[in-house]
Amino acid sequence: MKQLPAATIRLLSSSQIITSVVSVVKELIENSLDAGATSIDVKLENYGFDKIEVRDNGEGIKADDAPVMAMKYYTSKIRSHEDLENLTTYGFRGEALGSICCVAEVLITTRTAADNFSTQYVLDGSGHIISQKPSHLGQGTTVTALRLFKNLPVRKQFYSTAKKCKEEIKKVQDLLINYGILKPDVRIVFVHNKHCLQ
């Protein structure tokens, strides 16, 4: 018996957390809600397999935190398991962004109230920053995931029929409707291939 290589362990555990397009959208929406967003735009291209983008007007991510924002088990939401007694956020495991980086190409653009301009970060498969540049967005965070599951043919294959793809869009729509009901004060817009679905 042999232990699997670290990169394989990472890919397999990430694919347990990020199992579908809808699971990416769920994690990103919850991060936006945790950041106090009142406006969230979800955009998919080609059922989410070419592009999933979630833009919010929340508090943004501080430049100091950017190097670890997509590192697994880094979170701003709890300090230790004792904090689980009084959770006020959806997230706390610090696994979502890191897992998405492992199964897609990820860009994060963010700006806090204290920043003069937004910064776009390009991340690698282990959640490290490859490059960064100034950009023009307002306060908040935009996470873009490109080419989901390109390195996981088994997951991709599951969506090889038009029926499965359409079902996935319906699931995203239902998820967003549910958050809309839970958070009536938050504006949530859903666009697929430039068509507004909600």
Q: Which residue blocks in the chain are alpha helix, DSSP H? A: 6-17, 21-34, 96-103, 153-158, 162-182
- Closer CB to ligand ADP, 75 or 144, in the complex: 75
Out of ligand ADP, Mg ion, none, what residue 32 binds, judged by CB under 5 to 8 A for its kind, is ligand ADP
Q: How far is the CB of 96 from Mg ion (least distance, A)?
A: 4
Query: Which position's Cβ is nearest ligand ADP?
Result: 91
Q: How far is the CB of 178 from ligand ADP (least distance, A)?
A: 19
Residues that bind Mg ion (CB under 5 A): 31, 91, 96
Task: Using CB positions, name the residue nearest to Mg ion.
Answer: 91
- Measure the CA–CA gap between 52 and 44, rounded to whole angstroms: 5
Minimum distance from residue 97 beta carbon to Mg ion (Å):
7
Tell me the two tokens of residue 109: 């653009």
Residue nearer to ligand ADP on the CB measure, 142 or 159: 142
Contact (CB, 8 A) for 35 and 141: yes
93 touches which of ligand ADP, Mg ion, none (CB within 5 to 8 A by kind)? ligand ADP
Interior CA angle at 159 toward 28 and 91, to 5°? 20
Angle (CA) 181 27 176, round 5°: 25
